[in-house]
Amino acid sequence: MLSACTQNEIRYEKHDGYTVICQSKGPVLGLSSAPIIKINNLIFKDLNHNGELDPYEDWRQSPEKRAADLASKMSIEQICGLMIYSSSITVEDPVLTDKQKQFLGEDHVRHVLVAGISSPGAGARWCNTMQAFCEEQPLGIPANNSSDPRNYTNGKANTSTYKHEPDGEFNPDGSSSISRWPREIGLGATFDMDVIRRHGEIVSTEYRALGITTALSPQIDIATEPRWRRFYGTFSEDPYLNRDIAREYCDAFQTTKGSKNGWGQNSVNCMVKHWPGGGSGEAGRDAHFGIGKYAVYPGENFRLGLIPFEDGAFKLHGKTKMASAVMPYYTISYNQDPSGQNVGNGFSHYIIQELLRDKNHYEGVVCTDWGIVKDYQQTWRHKGKPWGMENVTLAERRLKVFEAGVDQLGGVYDNGPSLEAYKLWEEKYGEQSARERFELSAKRLLLNIFRVGLFENPYVDPAEADRIVGCKEFVAAGYEAQLKSVTMIKNHAGVLPIRGKLKVYEPLRRVGPGLTHWMKPIDAYEEYPFSKELMSKYFEVVDNPEDADFALVSIKTPYGHWGYTLPEGDESEGRYHPISLQWGPYTAEFAREVSIAGGDPTESSRNRSYKGRTEISSNEEDMHMVRRTRELMGDKPVIMVIHMDRPFVPAEVEPCADAILLSFGVSNNALLDVISGRFEPRGLLPCQLPADMRTVEEQFEDTPHDMRCYVDTDGNSYDFAYGLNWNGRISDSRTRKYGKHH
């Protein structure tokens, strides 16, 4: 912002490895090696060291003009590097690795996905080291660092976040390594736009303190398929709730208050995902694997998945107007392309160019999901995901992506195949067309870097990072959101809250063996989900149920296979398998005889049916533990906490509990604050809970609110937007707006 002062007052500040130049009539500049240029006592950075002020170096020019000028100056090698988004990296010290120097220097990569960071200060120092390295390169283009969602209670969700506290516990009254919030599905369970806005303001502030300028979020898919593994990463199954959340989230992240156009040094680009919606994988299988490559639309509701994008993220109330980037999902949107082509969304000209760009006039960055241009192996391996393009070369895949209208490739380092794709474009469409097409993507990518102020000052203060990230104010706000997300669905005879230091019994939980979320085996283990030390701050902990006033049981939603069993012995193929939402054994009696979609280069059949096969959940013991506890407690209350990452069939456990609380990735502190009456529950179900697995099999993968809901022993139906407080069923402005399926 320019001041009204007639003289440009200039102040230099020396920092570790960089200098900050403050000027009263211009922006703050941060530099390490670039010369400066003075014009009329205004200071500019000479990033290309040519002694002249180029348009892209002139902060008085619009970001659009600066991006166009710089793109015109870039070689094809530099543009291809700009069109790459690195795989995730972990930061433990401020020194760049040889690999990082290579992809930043030789491959010209400027978009970096940052995962684990050992501490806020260490993350800031590494950012400064990297930006200084980038400043030394030709043209001096700074890096645009990004993050997957990292502000969750256990610190392990999607991206590791520093050294975290013991699982489920942290001090809500003190500082933390970062502010802790419920999972996305928990933010959805608040049905509260004030919570969403505050989350966006705080998390984006923490990101900028760490040198992170792009959020690979929000995930605004409508979770219409209840078996989907990524259900927890969405906000709900409802297109209109997700629409409103998308708008608040992106506005809060992207807006710098007081800025003329909304963009500035406090802005964080939002990369909304996953266009055109990834929540309708057939039978709940996920497209990270070939077994789940097909999204299907038996209810003919493809358009519902577009609502959070078209009416939310692309129609912001704030000055930035729309989310600055979009990520398509891995899936093949089966039989949606009028041309009849069935390829992954990132390869689809219909999905990207015709639907996103032409119909919705979207001119922001489109970046593929990670690894779609890499080589493919077996259907069950978490490797390359080139769905529909498995049998072509690396360069041909990249050409197909660029022809579709995509700007950037997620999860790769090398730009060699991109240079080959450029040559293929030249051969197919001509040299001028190739340069114009690649330069167009460069302008889009550079625009997002200019708008957040990185060309002026990409450096961050490590001391400020340590002070801001996870400060008491931010931790308190995140904790309040945790409390607001806790959802009570049963409270028989008003057993909750439990006031006073009564005696509590917690049974030992036994799990496994089984599979992790990524199809990797885990050994059996035992745990007490609530530590005795934490529980003793609220209640008196006893070891014997006969001594207890009540029992507290903590379980997780059922989990087992990903819808596939691995081949055994000399078998070349595994078998498709049910995904179950119940704890006990489930036989798929009502599954489809013939799958809607199928076909893969490594498979002998197009039919992916699993009808008649039986699934056993890895945590079946959770159900038995709940039932044993009911028997041991007799008539005394049993309070059940269910850590919910997707819907489940309550019938096996609900009758055994007097009260049921749902946790969407919150701390044990928050749960105990609700149980003890320190906070009244106000969360609402962001999805339906099914009556049985038959209704799960018979619902349509692309249709929200189409299951028979479970009715509990108190006569309450576990439907969307249902929840209880101490007085009974919640009825307020949220339920009036979003309840009863609109």
CB neighbour burial string for 246-272, b if at least 16 within 10 angstroms, e if fewer: bbbbbbbbbbbeebeebbbebbbbbbb
Q: What pLDDT score was predicted for residue 2?
A: 42
Please count the other Cβ atoms lying within 10 Å of the Cβ belonging to residue 321: 16
DSSP string, 698-735: HS-TT-TT-SPBPB-TTS-B--TT--EETTEE--SHHH
How far apart CA 372 and CA 366 sit, in angstroms, is: 14
Reported pTM: 0.96
What tens digit of pLDDT does each residue of 67-126 get? 999 999 999 999 999 999 998 888 888 899 999 999 999 999 999 999 888 889 999 999
Secondary structure of the chain: what % helix, strand, coil (to 5)? Answer: 35, 15, 50
Using an 8 Å Cβ cutoff, are 80 and 398 in contact?
no
Residue 678's φ and ψ, nearest 5 degrees, are: -75, -20
Q: What pLDDT score was predicted for residue 162?
A: 43
In the chain (742 residues long), the average pLDDT of successive 10-residue segments reads 64 96 97 96 97 98 98 98 91 89 95 90 95 98 96 54 54 84 97 98 98 98 97 97 98 97 98 97 96 98 98 98 98 97 98 98 97 91 93 97 98 92 98 98 98 98 96 96 98 97 96 70 86 95 98 94 88 93 97 97 96 94 97 98 97 98 95 98 98 98 98 98 98 95 72
Q: What pLDDT score was predicted for residue 165?
A: 47
Q: What pLDDT score was predicted for residue 160?
A: 39
Q: What pLDDT score was predicted for residue 3?
A: 42
Q: What pLDDT score was predicted for residue 636?
A: 98
How far apart CA 373 and CA 420 sit, in angstroms, is: 13
Residue 639's φ and ψ, nearest 5 degrees, are: -100, 130
DSSP E strands in 320-364: the ranges are: 325-328, 332-333
From the number of C-beta atoms within 10 Å of its C-beta (0-12, 13-18, 19+), residue 69 rates as middle
